[in-house]
Amino acid sequence: MLSPAKINLGLEIPYKRPDGFHEIRSVFLRLNWGDDIGIEPIDPGRFELVSENQIILEKRRLYDEVSEKGDLSKNILFKTFTKVRTHYRELPGVRIHLTKKIPPAAGLGGGSTNAASLLSFYFGLGPEFHSDELLRLAAEIGADVPFFLSEGNAFVSGKGEIMREIEVHSGQGILALTPQVLSTAEMYAGLKKPLQADPPSKKWISLREDVEFALKEGNWAALRGKLVNDFEPLAFQKFPELGKLKESLLANGASYSSLTGSGSCIYGLVQGLEIREELLAKMQTEFPDLTFVSFNY
């Protein structure tokens, strides 16, 4: 089954929370591209991972370091298995076959989506594993994991655990799988956001009406300047080629383009299949050393 990637339409970080996390607001968009994962039950207590690493060459080693070829204890699937088993020791072990396509350090939720796939597998095994418990465990594993347990797209706030499903018009886009590595911790530290002890204001827990309307209508050009990623200035300063990539996507036909997450992948949304194919051809010609992926949502 597909373990889908996500992209962020905008990612604002208004302040740092007293608990050490940063407050975020973003639209999470689920793609029809990602990892392929198969899970089967085995004897209780056993965990087996069999990976086929198809990540772009520059980032392939990052996954190998936490796969069965490296330190498996650092793998999010193993961490998820361990956490589930501490609560439900009677559940079976798992053998997981993973075709890994989503690169790490990309802003695409590659680890979180895998964790959600495993939780969904266990969630379907018995009525005692209720959805509230599932969401609690998911949030403990990672802030993005609860999103991947749902089917739709969402406006996300809090530290990532507060979600409101929203309507987004179907569409197409191009994703550039970039080789640059941006440390999430360093990117957040670079924002230098002030500590905020007060409860969040209403403006941080809702979307502007014009933004919601543009999302429903699929008017991606209307999102320019309204949905922004606060990490872009930092990312483009460290790797100017990422900024040039975004500019090229817009110049060659994308209606909206952005860094996703804290980076380093860049995407462009388009108004139709024909435009997407033209954009893909132009980008592959201009950036022959990069890998581009077409996606729908």
Position with higher pLDDT, 158 vs 51? 51
Tens of pLDDT, residue by residue over 244-271, are 999 999 999 999 999 999 999 999 999 9
pLDDT at 73 over 60: yes
* Rounded (to 5) percent helix, strand, coil in the chain: 35, 25, 35
Residue 27 neighbours by CB distance under 10 Å? 22
Residue range 166-193: mean pLDDT, rounded: 94
pLDDT at 173 over 80: yes
% the chain with pLDDT above 90 = 80
Measured between alpha carbons, how far is 159 from 240 in angstroms, rounded to an integer? Answer: 28
17: confidence class by pLDDT, cuts 50, 70, 90: confident
pLDDT at 75 over 70: yes
Annotated ligand binding at 113? The verdict is yes
Q: 66 is written with which tokens?
A: 């936490």
Annotated ligand binding at 104? The verdict is yes
286: confidence class by pLDDT, cuts 50, 70, 90: very high
Measured between alpha carbons, how far is 214 from 223 in angstroms, rounded to an integer? Answer: 7
Average pLDDT, the chain: 93
Annotated ligand binding at 160? The verdict is no
Annotated ligand binding at 138? The verdict is no
pLDDT at 129 over 90: no
130: confidence class by pLDDT, cuts 50, 70, 90: low
Residues labelled catalytic: 6, 144
Alpha carbon of 171 to those of 43, 44, 267: distances in Å?
A: 43, 43, 13
Annotated ligand binding at 98? The verdict is no
- Judge: domain 2-166, CATH 3.40.50.2300: no
Measured between alpha carbons, how far is 227 from 238 in angstroms, rounded to an integer? Answer: 22
Residue ranges, CATH 3.30.230.10, the chain = 2-166
pLDDT at 192 over 90: no
Q: Which CATH architecture has domain 172-296?
A: 2-Layer Sandwich (3.30)
Annotated ligand binding at 173? The verdict is no
* Placement of tokens 């970080």 in the chain: 13
Residue ranges, CATH 3.30.70.890, the chain = 172-296
